[in-house]
Structure 1
């Protein structure tokens, strides 16, 4: 620890966001950066605690105190080496991770945690800028071939680790480009897609083959893949959106959140859509149903498209602000989260249940009827249940976006062909080494856990890679 008193003398300083009136006019990343000297000072605030709860909180087990020290001492090469020892893609997590590590930081007891996520992003960006990041081509090859199905964070991580073990890896991606939800789900204003391209280019130079526009199970039967490859990793994500089956669901103007987000990301990439299928919030009153991160992404996208107004509703109660005694440090705090998108303009409401969609004479949604509810304890089960108030109102809207989360993998044909066991939640059932019930077939990421965080998908991809490597080594 270069400066043992820094946490006492240097306050937390965030880079902040670009001005609202500036950023809502484009899809550039909203976060700004600190200059290198300020960033070093922020890194110096790390106390190198005897028990590093940041490390404990991180699904990847990142060694935050070690690389914070390297950053403070301006050793970018050393910092990057330590960072990538546990995190394959810090340029992704440094942008979109909710920073569980910061919530576990001892300084978070005073709401002044080290800016770990921003420091992480700064390290990797300087590493690229200064030529530290170079392709690492394996010196020998084992001759074993592995097929990774899906190129999201879990699939990319699994492919990266297996390639470094010397195996021959091919990644199959059903979409026209790699990245999974990193590319098509997360908006450009949070993760510029050039960041993905930059890393994939390196993976290609290191020997990984990418086959895009190929859906295994449809374009190629899985039996052909299992014949040609020694092992398979299913990393197809959990793309089945949770629906809301109420009256009027079929009206025009009611869409899943991912329909909007995927389409806008493709538009940003240069793809054009006919007017009759283009989803646009321009000059419309937009209603986002669902209060999570995906809903927040819809808010930011709607504002950039020129929405007249944006309202976000949530069936759960409003979380407390600042602190929540039910989730004390060092656990993840269930508190009110206000994103950059919310700051751009959004009315947020809680404890509202959607009852029905109301349409106009053209069959387009014009209003949504909601009912005020409350959550009460069920004496018989001890669980919370909904108590209806009977108080309803109608919210005027011309575009409804359902951001209710995701259920299980969308794999018509693939999982059936694989014959793997499915758990009670509809996900691929895996063992501790991420192997499935079928020898030689493994699963990773959301396909095995349900929808989760990018950082957890990376951790799962690493675990699957080690399981596959052990399997291949023992054959």
Structure 2
């Protein structure tokens, strides 16, 4: 723990942001990490609460009280060692994780949880600044070869863990750069891609080989991997988006969010794109109230859209949850992202009925109000309304992984179309096909980065045990 009386002496300190009018001018990160003194005070607030619910609230079970205490005592170098013991990529989670650990913090009962995520952010940034993040070169080689399909957080975590115990690991990525949806789904203003690039360099020094433009079923056959490697890990994302089959869906300007967001990432990376989809001078409607929808809002504002509106089918959540009912679990409550603060009209309990076009281009959206009755969504009578819409971005989540690759590997699937594999026992993470494993969203469905890292690490241990009979890797 930190200071015994710290939680009574110090208030929660939030990270500072560059003002919206400034940050909208570019695609750079705008969240400023805590100063050493601010981080010390946040660490001091960690209580001797007996049961660290924060640790169980965190999917990767970060040892949060330990590094809070280390930061209170300004022992930064040991803090990054403790943080790295459970989390391969705290620079990802310290920027992108919604922080279920803070929801579970005992201080959150009073609505002022320890700023765990901000401390994590400060620790990893200081570690990179001081050159404390170094390759961990294996002391021996096992002569075992592993192929990992997908270079998102699950694939990267599995690759790093397996390389560090001496296996020869090759990561296959279908896109032209490594990182999966971290690279081409998360806007740069939330996480600049230099964070992925320097982790790649570390992992390459540890022995990981990265191959891009490797598409299963096109230039890579599943048999090539299963025949040439001792184990294969499927670590792709849940990339099959939920569609909206209403009249007018075929109009130009009605598209999936993931046809919109990656283009801007590529432009920021220096690529020259022809016919980039831009929100400039357009009335933009984002359908879907989650993180992807929020990313569309932030990107559209940086394009200088005329207006940005976000629809959500579900009712507006309460501003404040009932702590006695939900703590220490993740609460349902109204969440306003930094992109919303930059400019956006939000509307709840709205269903989209159709799109209206002109010369093949969307110009208007027809929607209506809905309400819940007897456990079902019903349209409110006489509630239909119209709205200008030159660009409609569908951000309603992802229903499953892309099925083609799973069919090519011939693995069994669950009822949702994910790869069927358990997480427990001797069969952990292994699929119905011999020596083929699965981890991350491809197995569990659309989820958080922290869950992907957890599954990648656990799958790495399962593969190591499968190949060697035993493993020193942590679960």
Q: Normalised by the shorter chain, which TM-score bucket?
A: over 0.9
The residue correspondences of 1:11-410 to structure 2 (distance < 5 A) are 11-275=11-275, 278-324=276-322, 328-360=326-358, 362-377=359-374, 383-410=375-402
Q: Given that residues 185 and 258 in structure 2 are in contact (C-alpha distance below 8 angstroms), is that contact kept between their aligned partners in structure 1?
A: yes
Aligned pairs, number: 466
Task: Give unpaired runs (5+ residues) of structure 2.
Answer: 471-475
Task: Give unpaired runs (5+ residues) of structure 1.
Answer: 378-382
SS at match of 1:366: strand
SS at match of 1:354: strand
Q: Which runs of 4+ in 1 moved over 6 A?
A: none
| Offset of residue 387 of structure 1 | 4.4
Range with bigger deviation, 30-39 or 183-192? 30-39
- Paired with 1:431 and 1:102, the residues of 2 have a C-alpha distance of 28
SS at match of 2:383: strand
Give 1:380's aligned residue.
none
TM-score scaled by structure 1? 0.96
- Paired with 1:452 and 1:417, the residues of 2 have a C-alpha distance of 24
- Paired with 1:369 and 1:167, the residues of 2 have a C-alpha distance of 56
Give 2:415's aligned residue.
424
- Paired with 1:104 and 1:15, the residues of 2 have a C-alpha distance of 20
Residues 2 and 115 of structure 1, relative CA distance in 2, 3 Å threshold:
closer
Deviation string, structure 1 residues 103-138 (Cα, Å, up to 9, x no partner) = 000111111001100100110111111121111100
- Paired with 1:310 and 1:246, the residues of 2 have a C-alpha distance of 21
| Offset of residue 280 of structure 1 | 0.4
- Paired with 1:71 and 1:471, the residues of 2 have a C-alpha distance of 38
Q: Given that residues 55 and 101 in structure 1 are in contact (C-alpha distance below 8 angstroms), is that contact kept between their aligned partners in structure 2?
A: yes
TM-score scaled by structure 2? 0.96
SS at match of 1:224: helix
Q: Given that residues 283 and 307 in structure 1 are in contact (C-alpha distance below 8 angstroms), is that contact kept between their aligned partners in structure 2?
A: yes
Give 2:473's aligned residue.
none
| Offset of residue 31 of structure 1 | 0.9
| Offset of residue 326 of structure 1 | 8.7
Q: CA RMSD in A?
A: 1.2
Deviation string, structure 1 residues 382-437 (Cα, Å, up to 9, x no partner) = x444344342011111000000000111152x222211101000000002211001
SS at match of 2:399: coil
- Paired with 1:209 and 1:325, the residues of 2 have a C-alpha distance of 47
Deviation string, structure 1 residues 9-59 (Cα, Å, up to 9, x no partner) = 100011131101000111111211222111111111111320001001011
Give 2:468's aligned residue.
473
- Paired with 2:158 and 2:381, the residues of 1 have a C-alpha distance of 49
